[in-house]
Amino acid sequence: MRHDVYARELGFEPVRPEQREVDAYDRHALHCIVRTNDDNVRPVGCARVVLTDPQDRNAPLPFEQSCRDTLDRRIIDPAALPRERIAEVSRLAVMGEFRRRRGELHRPVALSARDSAGDPVARFPNIPVSLYFGAVALAQRAGVEYLFTLTEPRLAKHFARGGVQIETVGAPIEHRGIRIPSLMRVSQVYNSLRAMVRPIWHEVHAQMDTCYLLHEALAQQAPEQAPLPQRVPASV
């Protein structure tokens, strides 16, 4: 999915014969996939949560390198936090067929000025929100409290309409477009959500719970064949 979006559709990464877009951070990352909830199940989007490297907790997360000179450490200094309690959301991607509105085909995640306008329930950007909620759920299970991400400038504005609080923690950088280093406090996300997006949160967490319960059942049957689930699907 990442290869289709980042390499074939957007040209951010080279097209590879094995059709996989991977990097060194995937070794210590958790992955969430959103897929359709119909008879013809198709992938919709994906995201990952990069944890700090268990072999070297002080090794920087991707944003710590790209935003080294722009982070406002008066707001928060990732280097001063318990390293097992921080992580980064990255590689959000939505498949092209779900980014068909004008201006969206050249962005990895679809957002529009029309989202949340008029009927907020019908127009709210449910796919990006589902991916972020999936990332928060994964972070929560991994014991992460400080979840960093690089956001498009308009993303926080859209999410704020649903009560999703994303705090700016530094100056913008150029990274496949203008991106702003931002922070979500995992323990505080739910309490600020508006009623219209809480059903999405509940559904994502319910499906996540099911996936982990299935993993635990498989682990009891064959412990050596049941590694921690790195890819957790959710349906929309």
> SS3 letters for 141-207?
HCCCCEEEEEECHHHHHHHHCCCCCCEECECCEECCCEEEEEEEEHHHCHHHCCCCCHHHHHHHHHH
Q: How far is 183 from 156, CA to CA, in rounded Å?
A: 10
Q: How far is 234 from 181, CA to CA, in rounded Å?
A: 26
To the nearest 5 percent, what fractions of the chain are helix, strand and coil?
35, 20, 40
Res. 191: pLDDT tops 90: yes
Which residues span the domain enclosing 183? Answer: 2-235
Mean pLDDT throughout 222-230?
A: 59
Number of domains in the chain: 1
Q: Residues 28, 52: contact at Cβ < 8 Å?
A: yes
Res. 111: pLDDT tops 80: no
Q: Residues 235, 207: contact at Cβ < 8 Å?
A: yes
Beta-bridge mates of residue 231: 31
Mean pLDDT throughout 217-231?
A: 67
Res. 103: pLDDT tops 50: no
| 76 alpha-carbon distance from chain centroid | 21
Q: How far is 168 from 20, CA to CA, in rounded Å?
A: 32
CA dihedral 191, 197, 203, 205 (to 10 degrees): -30
Q: What is the pLDDT of residues 9-62, one digit of tens each?
A: 888 899 999 999 999 999 999 999 999 888 888 899 999 999 999 999 999 999
Task: Supply the CATH number for residue 179's domain.
Answer: 3.40.630.30
Res. 131: pLDDT tops 90: yes
Residues 6+ apart with CB under 8 A from 153: 172, 178, 180
Q: The tokens 């299935």 sit on which residue? A: 214
Q: What is the pTM of this model?
A: 0.83
Res. 121: pLDDT tops 50: no
